[in-house]
């Protein structure tokens, strides 16, 4: 147990993230406990730390009835890291997690997975926003909101919620940020944050899918396809993650794939190219 004082689920979640971060640095259970006490003034039992690290217990199990660690949460986070945003309404105690995209099938799946992650029986339904010409899905959870808000500064704190479900996490991210470049025989995803790209490179590695990363310069200004107005980009560079090679692409198609129909169709065209060349 974590001392005699009752600690909120949100605080336990913060401690769990710190424990997993220290473990990735190679610290043992006792050294982690000492580091936690020095930083937070909290006495964590090494036995609790051991159970967290080995996956025997988790602060967000079903008994909390608020956030379910599983494939639904992994997909939700993966998609949010690409097309998601957060908003807070203090007056009504609403902490919204939102996804905005142009593909209904992506919005529909994300709403289903968000409901699964929040232990809700009915999925969140996409709504069409005419002004933005996009499908929008919204849900409210102070725990998930707090987790994703901290992840803006350090996406690696999300790894404990993704690494057991790398296929679902990657599918969510590639639904949001990925595309097929059939002429170059590759699958690509892009993001302005290198930490996010490196996180998914690690997750693809867990599926035995090799990939490369490239830092590409963007034009300083862009024209909005919705308003036709000229905007200055927030980042001059985008980091791309590219999957090359027959084995890697076929493995991606088998284990990850796309929820978005138009992207899945392009992926299957690329897969058929490889299968056709094998027959020749």
Q: What is the pLDDT of residue 167?
A: 98
What would the two tokens of residue 5 be?
Answer: 């004082």
pLDDT digits (tens, 9 = 90+) for 141-162: 888 998 999 899 999 999 999 9
Q: Are 167 and 203 in contact (CB under 8 A)?
A: no
Residues counted in the chain? 280
- List Cα–Cα distances, 211 to 104, 163, 240, in angstroms: 28, 17, 10
pLDDT digits (tens, 9 = 90+) for 110-143: 999 999 999 998 999 999 998 888 999 999 888 8
Helix, strand or coil, per DSSP, at residue 76: helix
Averaged pLDDT for residues 228-234: 53
Task: Determine the angle formed by the axes of helices 9-24 and 142-151, rounding to 10 degrees.
Answer: 30
Q: What is the pLDDT of residue 62?
A: 46
User: Which of 174, 210, 180, 170 lies closest to 271 in space, CA to CA?
Assistant: 180
User: Which of 35, 47, 40, 73 lies closest to 160 in space, CA to CA?
Assistant: 73
Helix and strand counts by DSSP (H, E) for the chain: 11, 10
Per-residue pLDDT band for 44 (boundaries 50, 70, 90) equals confident
Domains of the chain: 9-58 (no CATH), 71-151 (3.10.28.10), 164-279 (3.10.28.10)
Among 146-160, 213-227, 234-248, 264-278, which stretch is predicted with the lowest mean pLDDT? 213-227
- List Cα–Cα distances, 47 to 25, 29, 56, 130, in angstroms: 19, 8, 11, 53
Per-residue pLDDT band for 99 (boundaries 50, 70, 90) equals very high
Q: What is the pLDDT of residue 92?
A: 55
Q: Which residue has the higher pLDDT, 256 or 183?
A: 256
Mean pLDDT of the chain: 86
Residue 116, Cβ neighbours under 10 Å: how many?
18
H or E element in which residue 20 lies: helix 9-24
Phi and psi at residue 78, in whole multiples of 5°?
-60, -45
Q: What is the pLDDT of residue 236?
A: 72
Per-residue pLDDT band for 275 (boundaries 50, 70, 90) equals confident
Averaged pLDDT for residues 82-95: 77
With tokens 């006495």, the residue in question is: 43
Q: Are 89 and 106 in contact (CB under 8 A)?
A: no
Sign of the alpha-carbon dihedral angle for 249, 253, 257, 258: positive
Torsion, Cα of 273, 274, 279, 280 (10° steps): 70
Averaged pLDDT for residues 163-169: 97
pLDDT digits (tens, 9 = 90+) for 201-219: 999 999 999 999 998 776 6
With tokens 């808000």, the residue in question is: 149
Per-residue pLDDT band for 13 (boundaries 50, 70, 90) equals confident
User: Which of 108, 148, 155, 146 lies closest to 128 in space, CA to CA?
Assistant: 108
Averaged pLDDT for residues 152-174: 95
Q: What is the pLDDT of residue 271?
A: 93
Q: What is the pTM of this model?
A: 0.76
Q: Which residue has the higher pLDDT, 90 or 153?
A: 153
What's the CA gap between 280 and 120, in Å, rounded?
51
């Amino acid at each position: 147990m974590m001392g005699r004082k009752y600690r909120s689920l949100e605080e336990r979640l913060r401690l769990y993230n710190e424990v997993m971060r220290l473990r990735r640095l190679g610290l043992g259970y006792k050294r982690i406990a000492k580091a936690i006490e020095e930083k937070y003034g909290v006495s964590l039992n090494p036995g609790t730390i051991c159970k967290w690290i080995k996956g025997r217990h988790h602060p967000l199990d079903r008994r909390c009835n608020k956030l379910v660690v599983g494939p639904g949460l992994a997909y939700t986070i993966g998609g949010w890291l690409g097309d998601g945003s957060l908003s807070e309404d203090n007056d009504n105690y609403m902490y919204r997690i939102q996804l905005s995209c142009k593909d209904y099938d992506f919005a529909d799946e994300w709403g289903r997975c968000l409901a699964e992650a929040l232990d809700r029986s009915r999925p969140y339904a996409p709504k069409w926003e005419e002004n933005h010409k996009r499908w929008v899905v919204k849900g409210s959870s102070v725990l998930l909101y707090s987790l994703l808000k901290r992840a803006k500064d350090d996406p690696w704190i999300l790894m404990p919620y993704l690494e057991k479900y790398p296929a679902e996490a990657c599918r969510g991210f590639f639904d949001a940020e990925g595309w097929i470049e059939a002429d170059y025989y590759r699958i690509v995803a892009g993001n302005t944050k290198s930490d996010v790209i490196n996180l998914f490179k690690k997750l693809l590695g867990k599926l035995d899918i090799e990939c490369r990363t490239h830092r590409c310069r963007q034009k300083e200004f862009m024209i909005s396809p919705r308003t036709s107005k000229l905007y200055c980009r927030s980042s001059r560079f985008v980091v791309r993650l590219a999957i090359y090679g027959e084995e890697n692409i076929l493995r991606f198609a088998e284990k990850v794939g796309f929820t978005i129909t138009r992207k899945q169709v392009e992926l299957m065209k690329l897969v058929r190219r490889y299968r056709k060349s094998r027959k020749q």
